[in-house]
Amino acid sequence: MAAAQDSNEISYLLPPNRKDWEEKGVPNFVYRQKELLEGIQWPRTAPSLLDRTPRSRFDSALCAAWRQRMELGLFRYRLGELQTQTLPGVVGFVAQLNVERGVQRRRPQNIWSVRQAFDPEQFNFNKIRPGEVLFRLLREPDLPGALQQEDILVMINVSPLEWGHVLLVPEPTQGLPQRLLPAALRAGVEAVLLSSHPGFRVGFNSLGGLASVNHLHLHGYYLAHRLPVEGAPSEPLDPGGRLHLLQALPAPGFLFYTSGPGPDLEALIGRVCRATDYLTDHEIAHNLFVTRGAPPGKTSPSSALTGIRVILWARKSSFGVKEGEAFNVALCELAGHLPIKTSQDFDSLTEAAALALIRDCLLPPAQAEEVQAALVALIAQDE
């Protein structure tokens, strides 16, 4: 995604002299309620035309600062245009060849529990290099009904999946473990709403759900392709329509939906975090994906993106990276985006093989039904 240039971006760029980077401090990106954008749609023609559409202030700041860090060599590899294909079949998997990420990314930490405590001796986001933080994401204070805002640092992922791949990290000095909190989720949802690009998504991997660092963070990145979960059909699980089951491939998941900013969004954040708290407390790994999407019900891949979909998958715990697999199953793979590690797998991967890898990571049917019943009962407490 090309970055637009405007006078607002300059404060997010690093000074020419590296010695000045630490002294510069972290600039604030302060946003207002009116900057949360509704009704952003995919263009009717090729997604590549997104590069010619106007950027939001958030997109301009993020992309200009991210591109500068790439040019300065702060990433583990230089990300070029990734070879991309849609796998033949009914799902519409978007497969991308990203050899460098498979080879160069930092080895995952030694994780053994979804509830593992933060360990300051392990790698964490207090140990990153100067210049990796792009800005501090802050809501304008005193918004009606808003939760207390925490500092959210937006920093580069040094092993990027795609253009603009960043991490959203609540104040790192607090040493929070990788357990989803309401303020972090709200920042992630509002980051999606701040972008005018329909393919900017945010996600969360729990411990055991392939989070490689036990320090609270969410992922955000641009992908100029529609994904199956945006318009997949669903059915309600409670009479109030607050929890839905996304039944379509690539994997069944729990769907939470809001039409946009406001009280409904705050309520959604509370429901999602109660669900992830339940999963964490019961040692159940999970992945979460935030995207613009269609309302629940009988939708289709071409449905209009009228609101925000938050999809939650409960899954088998998986600690470490499985060597030899075409891809590892985490937040983007469950949503239908497959970063592939080798050219051979990219050329030979089929939809059936991809689905088999994903299904192998899902809960057994009996446990899945137990989790569903528990979450339905949890949501019913909103009555």
- Who contacts 215 (Cβ-Cβ below 8 Å, separation ≥6)? 118, 124, 125, 169, 172, 175, 176, 177, 178
CA angle 272, 274, 280 (to 5 degrees): 100
Query: Is 244 in the active site?
Result: no
3-state helix/strand/coil string of 123-134: CCCCCCCCCCEE
Could you say which of 197, 215, 217, 244 is catalytic?
Answer: 217
Look up residue 91 and give its two tokens: 């799902």
- In whole angstroms, give the CA distance from residue 162 to residue 330: 15
- Residue 57 dihedral angles phi and psi, to the nearest 5°: -60, -40
Region for 320 from its dihedrals, namely left if φ exceeds 0, alpha if ψ lies in -120 to 50, beta otherwise: left
Q: Are 188 and 168 in contact (CB under 8 A)?
A: yes
| DSSP code at position 246 | E
- Who contacts 108 (Cβ-Cβ below 8 Å, separation ≥6)? 210, 212, 213, 319, 320, 321
CA atoms within 13 A on the CB side of 122: 18
CA distances from 371 to 278, 279, 285, 363 (A): 9, 8, 12, 9
The SS3 assignment for 13 reads coil
Residue-by-residue DSSP string for 294-336: PPSSS--TT----EEEEEEEEE--B-S--TT-S---SHHHHHT
Look up residue 145 and give its two tokens: 């009904």
Residues marked as catalytic: 217
